[in-house]
């Protein structure tokens, strides 16, 4: 490669670097661009249960406690608690189990200081718990909790 070719490449590099010059006032402080997410926002979490049980596990109690702590000082406007069950057993029994699971979670959240009038407690039973392949869905052994919260006024 000749000297002229090297200068041509070097000249292109210098020209490209000229386009990267820092212009005063173009860059802003990071805090203007990135905001800390509010703890007082909508949340969704699941509470899992042992097979055939509506008793809260230690992990469930910890999840409820952590979420309650995160939302301290927030206005909680609504809490939807939906109990679910897998397809093991009779549908009626699964609906009853789902209702017990939902009540257990709602009671634990109320004991953690959440506003009881804001609760909407429902149960889904085993509906939709069997996949098309016929496989049972163990992850249905849970209660879904959806929280609507906003910063306190």
- For 5, 16, 141, the CA distances from 51, given in Å and listed in that order, are 74, 64, 7
Among 2-11, 100-109, 115-124, whose mean pLDDT is lowest? 2-11
Q: Structural domains in the chain?
A: 40-151 (3.30.1330.60)
Instruction: Give 10-21 pLDDT, tens digit per residue.
Output: 554 444 444 455
**Nearest CA among 113, 139, 117, 145 for reference residue 126:** 139
Instruction: Give 19-42 pLDDT, tens digit per residue.
Output: 455 556 566 666 665 555 677 889
Answer whether 0.75 is exceeded by the pTM: no
């Amino acid at each position: 490669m000749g000297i002229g070719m090297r200068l041509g490449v070097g000249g292109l590099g210098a020209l490209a670097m000229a386009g990267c010059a820092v212009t005063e006032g173009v860059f802003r402080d990071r805090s203007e661009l990135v905001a800390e997410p509010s703890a007082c926002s909508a949340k969704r979490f699941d509470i899992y249960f042992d097979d055939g049980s509506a008793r809260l596990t230690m992990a469930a109690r910890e999840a409820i406690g952590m979420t309650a702590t995160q939302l301290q000082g927030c206005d909680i406007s609504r809490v939807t608690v939906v109990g679910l069950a897998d397809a093991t057993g009779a549908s009626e029994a699964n609906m009853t189990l789902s209702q017990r699971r939902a009540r257990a979670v709602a009671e634990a959240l109320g004991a953690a200081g959440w506003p009881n009038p804001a609760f909407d407690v429902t149960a889904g039973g085993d509906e939709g718990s069997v996949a098309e392949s016929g496989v049972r869905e163990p992850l249905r052994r849970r209660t879904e909790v959806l929280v609507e919260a906003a910063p306190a006024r």
